[in-house]
Structure 1
Amino acid sequence: MKSKIYILEKASRAMNYGIGTYVKQLTNCLLSSKMDFCVIHLYADCLETTIMDKGGYQQISIPTPYSNIAACLQYYSRNVAYLLKTLITEDSDTRIIFHLNFLPDNNLVKYLKHLFKCHIVLTVHYTNWSFSLLGDFDLLKRIVDKKRSKLTQSEKQIVDEIKEYRMMMKRCDLIICVAQHTLKALQELSCIGTSKACVINNGIADCYLKRGKDKKLRQKYHLEDDEQIIIFAGRLDEIKGVPFLIKAFERVLVDYPKSRLIIAGDGDFNECLRGTKKCWSRITFTGRIDKRQLYGLYTIANVGVVCSIHEEFGLVAIEMMMHALPLVVTDTSGLSELVIDGVSGLKSPIRRIKRKRSPDVKVLSEQIIKLLDSKTFALQLGRKARKRFLENYALEVFKKKMMSVYEALLN
């Protein structure tokens, strides 16, 4: 019996970062597996529905709705299902899987199930409450346990969203979580049961670059040979903890006055710049750069830092591990699962300051200094980080798990 997989993605800022990378790696896996598949791009920036040949698969792009009010979005989800019904030919000998890579409203899953004989797979890349509450699951549980009359408007939205997710996820055949903490949270919120949920960590193609071109790259970017380079990569959002990294870097400068912090990513530059008055000349903001440039910077960096207050998985961390870059991460959510403290990197705690979760600036700076103090120790951590990447987060590992999931559903 034949099969066809439809990968659904949604135009959003996240598509330029982690989710976009995930979908790209998934399509590469499917291309190499010779499975028949199609990518469906929702909320696309186009005037009409288009179908394009992408070399080995087709992409269907469906334009964004004219309004973003709730009722309109619900109609959009329903109409997408009916539109796909006209575009997808259902043969009696073809099994269909819809693989969703965003959290849809209940209508999309409901109508796909109504119109097609299909399996629906949902990968949970993030949850909205994790962003709004900065990953504070204890606070989330307190909100869920409150009487509705005691809830604020924003808290009501969170509670209603969880109810919507429960209904939607019950209709899915399989929920894939990218990290163990996500699975645990969804189970505690009664969104999913153990029978139709699993954890499959993200995986990326091994693009390891050796450090043989250190001097040339340093010359290219006008960096001194004796500068200690600390690098951060990611969006400049509150949840990424960049202002705390800048404060930690000020402490690092006391011991290593010729060190440089490179911040690679786009976002709220003004918020970050406000905290740099004491060390303007030692911080470089690159803006968003392509992977080739970023990976080049990893080869000349001494320390990589991922200091998020919450991270669903931690794609940047595994990219740094892939390059054997000595790494400091905050001990939170997905990052906690990626790094073994003192073995494949160092961890820095999250503290609750004035009821708000924040990276511990003092410990963060101490962990960075520890790696700068001992090149031997740093290189050892880097080598073990790369080994852990190859064993757990390389694309072949991801591909094997995903193909097993698809085959189990189809059989």
Structure 2
Amino acid sequence: MRNIYIFNMTSRSIHYGIGTYIRQLIRSARYARLKVHYVLISDEIKEFEVREKDGVCHLNIPLTPSHLPNYLVKTEESVAYLLREYIVDDENNIFHFNIMRQETLIGRMKKQYRGTFILTVHYTEWSFELLGDRKKLRQILNKRDDQQTFRDSYVLTSFFRDKKVLNEHADRVIAIARHSYDDIIGIYGTNPEKVTLINNALPDKYKSGRKRNELRSRYSMAPDENVVVFAGRLDEVKGIAILVRAFRMLLERYPNSRLIIAGEGDYQMLFSQAFKDWSKVTFTGYIDQKTLYDFYSIADMGVVPSLHEEFGYVAVEMMMHALPVIVNATTGLAEIVDHEVNGLHVVLKRGKKNLLQSAKKLASALVRLSESPRLRTDMGNKAREKYLSYYEIRHFNERMRSLYRTL
């Protein structure tokens, strides 16, 4: 049996996109009859631990393992040293990395072990910093050294680090979205022959015919309320401030509306922005998947106003539940949701000076779906159709197994 070593580094994203991806990747590798070893590096882990669970070997490693010999520098290189007792050096091994920032570790592992090195590009530092603006990236790349700001220097450092990982360390690269695929080849200059597009996907948890009114009663919501749902971290990049302002505008036209905000983050800022509308806004904090899916089942529409998303699991979850989805017309979201087919695109921009204008655009889309139950139903049905055709988990499993078989 071939061994696959799946690497991840803990951050709060473990509860969101990358964490979801890792769980599905492990299942897919097991279906491909690979022996799975999951290597988790985290500053939350105190001691190195090896344990077997559900057929998967878990290797949990502190980010700075204090028990290593003093002569070893406590960096990612020490992780490669630590793993030598647990990795059988075999040219058939597969090493699957999920964080490009682990350039030191990937480079060291490749020198130390034989096998095929795969990298999934979940996001890049430059796209997160510049909200996926390729034009801004090219401007920074063309600047002279004496013209560069501190931010420019940060973007350049991360860009060239990522370029080295993609072009020198990775044998195969997985892009999770079409725009990512185009960037890896077009901007980083990576050989197209080693880049594969495998969209993120989710197992189908939709239950048709759920008793909507009973669920609404369970969560103290009226049968005739116009319910809008948002899920995700409460960060500026998620467009949450724009959404709260837009919802206030929706209430002027449809006072019987409710906004559900499911996620963790800066509540204090949102409380002040939602002043006077507190009774109409439900803040849930972090909730489990079952409760979140209950909210999708009772909602009339979903909204994902992120200023940048490499992919957009939340939009796919909403489409799975036959919800029409309003998204910012940017990067990963724009290719998941088709404008005027299974949802609506709006153009939202970052910054206080753009807040009001962006909120008006989002409010207009919210009003449009609120006033037409027929349009919501039609778009929702088409959203579910697209989910089943592109983002249901069997597509991911088939493509990942196909990739592993070629290695």
Same fold (TM over 0.5): yes
Superposition TM-score tier, normalisation by shorter sequence: over 0.9
2:151 maps to 154
CA apart distance, 1:300: 0.5
Matched letter for residue 136 of structure 2? L
1: CA distance, partners of 2:385 / 2:72: 45
2: CA distance, partners of 1:355 / 1:137: 22
1:333 maps to 331
Contact 2:47 2:65 in 1 (8 A): no
Contact 1:309 1:358 in 2 (8 A): no
2:136 maps to 139
Q: 1:184 to 1:306 in 2, by over 3 A?
A: same
CA apart distance, 1:34: 2.7
Contact 1:330 1:359 in 2 (8 A): no
2: CA distance, partners of 1:87 / 1:181: 37
Q: TM-score, normalised by structure 1?
A: 0.92
1:12 maps to 11
2: CA distance, partners of 1:78 / 1:17: 27
1:108 maps to 105
2:199 maps to 201
1:176 maps to 174
Note if 1:127 corresponds to 2:124. yes
Matched letter for residue 219 of structure 2? Y
2:51 maps to 52
Contact 1:209 1:296 in 2 (8 A): no
1: CA distance, partners of 2:46 / 2:351: 48
Contact 2:43 2:64 in 1 (8 A): no
Contact 2:174 2:195 in 1 (8 A): yes
Q: Which SS does the other structure have where 2:60 is aligned?
A: strand
Matched letter for residue 123 of structure 1? T
Contact 2:64 2:74 in 1 (8 A): no
The correspondence of residues 359-378 of structure 1 with structure 2, limited to 5 A, is 360-378=358-376
Contact 1:345 1:385 in 2 (8 A): yes
2: CA distance, partners of 1:49 / 1:358: 50
Q: Which SS does the other structure have where 2:92 is aligned?
A: strand
Q: 1:354 to 1:242 in 2, by over 3 A?
A: closer
CA apart distance, 1:352: 7.2
1:216 maps to 214
2:237 maps to 239
Q: 1:375 to 1:356 in 2, by over 3 A?
A: closer
1:285 maps to 283
> Structure 1 residue aligned with 2:164, among 167, 182, 186?
167
Contact 1:329 1:347 in 2 (8 A): yes
> Higher mean Cα deviation, 172-181 or 131-140?
131-140
Matched letter for residue 86 of structure 1? E
The correspondence of residues 374-385 of structure 1 with structure 2, limited to 5 A, is 374-385=372-383
CA apart distance, 1:42: 1.1
CA apart distance, 1:45: 2.4
> Higher mean Cα deviation, 13-22 or 57-66?
57-66
1: CA distance, partners of 2:290 / 2:2: 36
2: CA distance, partners of 1:199 / 1:356: 34
CA apart distance, 1:43: 2.0
1:87 maps to 86
1:97 maps to 94
Q: What is the RMSD of the two structures over their aligned residues, measured on CA atoms?
A: 2.2
Contact 2:307 2:350 in 1 (8 A): no
Contact 1:232 1:306 in 2 (8 A): yes
2: CA distance, partners of 1:110 / 1:358: 47
Contact 1:65 1:73 in 2 (8 A): no
Contact 1:231 1:262 in 2 (8 A): yes
Q: Which SS does the other structure have where 1:274 is aligned?
A: helix
CA apart distance, 1:44: 5.0
2: CA distance, partners of 1:325 / 1:105: 37
CA apart distance, 1:203: 0.9
> Structure 2 residue aligned with 1:312, among 310, 313, 319?
310
Matched letter for residue 148 of structure 1? D
Matched letter for residue 161 of structure 1? S
1: CA distance, partners of 2:130 / 2:251: 32
1:38 maps to 37
Residue by residue over 1:246-291, the C-alpha shift from the partner in whole angstroms, topping out at 9 and shown as x without a partner, is 1111111121101000100001111222211242221111111000
Q: Which SS does the other structure have where 2:45 is aligned?
A: coil
1: CA distance, partners of 2:73 / 2:223: 57
| Consecutive unaligned residues in structure 2, runs of 5 or more | none
Matched letter for residue 197 of structure 1? V
2: CA distance, partners of 1:189 / 1:336: 20
Residue by residue over 1:184-226, the C-alpha shift from the partner in whole angstroms, topping out at 9 and shown as x without a partner, is 2233432523221122110111100235321222112111122
Matched letter for residue 126 of structure 2? W
Contact 2:242 2:355 in 1 (8 A): no
Q: 1:148 to 1:11 in 2, by over 3 A?
A: same
Contact 2:48 2:61 in 1 (8 A): yes
Matched letter for residue 149 of structure 2? T
CA apart distance, 1:11: 0.7
| Consecutive unaligned residues in structure 1, runs of 5 or more | none
Contact 1:349 1:359 in 2 (8 A): no
> Higher mean Cα deviation, 204-213 or 20-29?
204-213
